[in-house]
């Protein structure tokens, strides 16, 4: 890599991502060990089972990666919205709607070639997620409804729509199970390596994370989004930025990324739509984005960490008789630690300014 300012910036960012990831891994293992001791479990055996289930074999590593893909895409959706000052809590619903529309698109395209069917399904899922986010954007613009409320309510509506579809229009032909028919191979995302479970969605997530990082950092439109997130009044008066238009664009982009997460999960992992299609990816994505401090590149690292924790939790429950929900407690503890650290850092900076 040439020794240019851009290359040095990229190298520093990669180094920061690696360092932050190492801190998160150490913190998560420390918190988990303390929690295991407090609940009367043997930390050594449990942590060994968790590590084995997360990175102990090629299969385990692929399990961690495929769990990280929807978390990364939904985490990017949350990061974009939060950077614009929008509390989009609706990534879960946008993800579900994206999966539903991808499933319906697959049913319509039928036996079309993969090069036609797959892009159509992914694009349709993204547009559906954007459309679902547009509802919250319009409620905010026209009636002043807080997006925190509207997006949460839309999550429940999306969940009900999914349940209705798998028992009605999209149910499998025998009408025995509440799910859609299995996707044919021609509509499934290709695997990156033979015998591996890691699909093309992993590459899509990495490309989008790098692209979003560059866009937010280096483009005028990215600056406008960051400006309204920092201070919408100043952005409108000093920079003459159209806040309503930029807010709408941020909503649509966030929804599109979450919808893509649903369509990628559908075409790359589950191959069918069913009740409880998402184990809460949209909600966990909020933690992923916050731990990454809304940095798209850091989202990749935190998503991978959460994916590994969730993959290892199943092995920990199976091999060490430790309930997998313990990992959820660890995730929550990490979020509280980051929020507390940010708060302390802000107070220290304020005191330093007063002192000068």
* DSSP string for 191-253: BSSTT---BTHHHHHHHHHHHHHHHHHHSHHHHHHHHHHH-HHHHHHTS---HHHHHHHHHHH
**Per-residue pLDDT of the chain in tens (356 residues, 90 and over written 9):** 456 665 666 566 666 666 666 776 777 778 888 888 887 888 888 888 888 888 888 889 999 999 999 999 999 999 999 999 999 999 999 999 999 999 999 999 988 888 899 999 999 999 999 999 999 999 999 999 999 999 999 999 999 999 999 999 999 999 999 999 999 998 999 999 877 889 999 999 999 999 999 999 999 999 999 999 999 999 998 888 999 999 999 999 999 999 999 999 999 999 999 999 999 999 999 989 988 889 999 999 899 989 998 888 888 888 888 888 888 877 777 777 777 777 777 787 777 766 65
Please give the C-alpha separations between residue 253 and each of 151, 157, 184, 219, in angstroms, as whole numbers: 15, 21, 29, 15
Q: Report the distance separating Cα 205 and Cα 192, nearest Å.
A: 13
- CA dihedral for 347, 350, 355, 356, sign (positive or negative): positive
The enclosing H or E element of 41 equals: none
Please give the C-alpha separations between residue 346 and each of 38, 58, 241, 289, 351, in angstroms, as whole numbers: 32, 42, 27, 19, 9
Q: Give Cβ neighbours of residue 163 (< 8 Å, ≥ 6 apart).
A: 178, 275
N-to-C CA span, the chain = 41
Picking from 64, 91, 97, the residue whose alpha carbon sits closest to that of residue 78 is: 91
Q: Report the distance separating Cα 10 and Cα 20, nearest Å.
A: 15
Picking from 236, 349, 249, 331, the residue whose alpha carbon sits closest to that of residue 289 is: 331
Q: What is the dihedral of CA 76, 77, 80, 81, to 10 degrees?
A: -150
Give the 3-state secondary structure of residue 191.
strand
Asked if 75 and 291 touch (Cβ cutoff 8 Å), the reply is no
- CA dihedral for 281, 282, 287, 288, sign (positive or negative): positive
């Amino acid at each position: 890599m040439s020794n240019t300012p851009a290359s040095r910036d990229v190298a520093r960012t990669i180094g920061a991502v690696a360092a932050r990831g190492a801190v998160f891994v150490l913190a998560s293992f420390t918190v988990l060990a303390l929690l295991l001791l407090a609940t009367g479990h043997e930390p050594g055996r449990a942590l060994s089972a968790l590590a084995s289930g997360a990175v102990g074999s090629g299969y385990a590593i692929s399990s961690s990666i495929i769990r990280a893909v929807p978390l990364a895409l939904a985490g990017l959706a949350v990061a974009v919205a939060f950077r614009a000052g929008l509390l989009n809590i609706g990534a879960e619903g946008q993800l579900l709607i994206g999966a539903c529309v991808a499933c319906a698109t697959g049913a319509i395209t039928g036996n079309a070639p993969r090069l036609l069917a797959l892009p159509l399904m992914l694009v349709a899922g993204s547009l559906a997620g954007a459309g679902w986010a547009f509802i919250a954007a319009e409620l905010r613009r026209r009636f002043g409804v807080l997006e925190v409320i509207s997006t949460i309510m839309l999550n429940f509506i999306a969940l009900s729509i999914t349940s209705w579809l798998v028992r009605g229009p999209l149910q499998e032909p025998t009408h025995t199970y509440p799910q859609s028919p299995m996707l044919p191979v021609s509509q499934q995302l290709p695997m990156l390596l033979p015998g591996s479970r890691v699909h093309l969605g992993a590459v899509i997530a990495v490309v989008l994370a790098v692209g979003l990082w560059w866009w937010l950092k280096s483009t005028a439109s990215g600056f406008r989004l960051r400006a309204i997130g920092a201070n919408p009044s100043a952005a409108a008066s000093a920079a003459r930025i159209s806040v309503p238009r930029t807010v709408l664009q941020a909503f649509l982009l966030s929804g599109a990324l979450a919808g893509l997460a649903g369509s990628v999960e559908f075409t790359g992992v589950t191959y069918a739509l069913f009740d409880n299609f998402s184990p809460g990816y949209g909600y966990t994505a909020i933690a992923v984005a916050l731990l990454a401090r809304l940095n798209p590149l850091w989202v990749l690292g935190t998503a991978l960490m959460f994916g590994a924790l969730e993959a290892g939790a199943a092995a920990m429950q199976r091999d060490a008789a430790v309930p997998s929900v313990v990992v959820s407690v660890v995730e929550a503890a990490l979020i509280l630690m980051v929020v507390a650290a940010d708060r302390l850092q802000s107070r220290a900076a304020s005191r330093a300014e007063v002192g000068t």
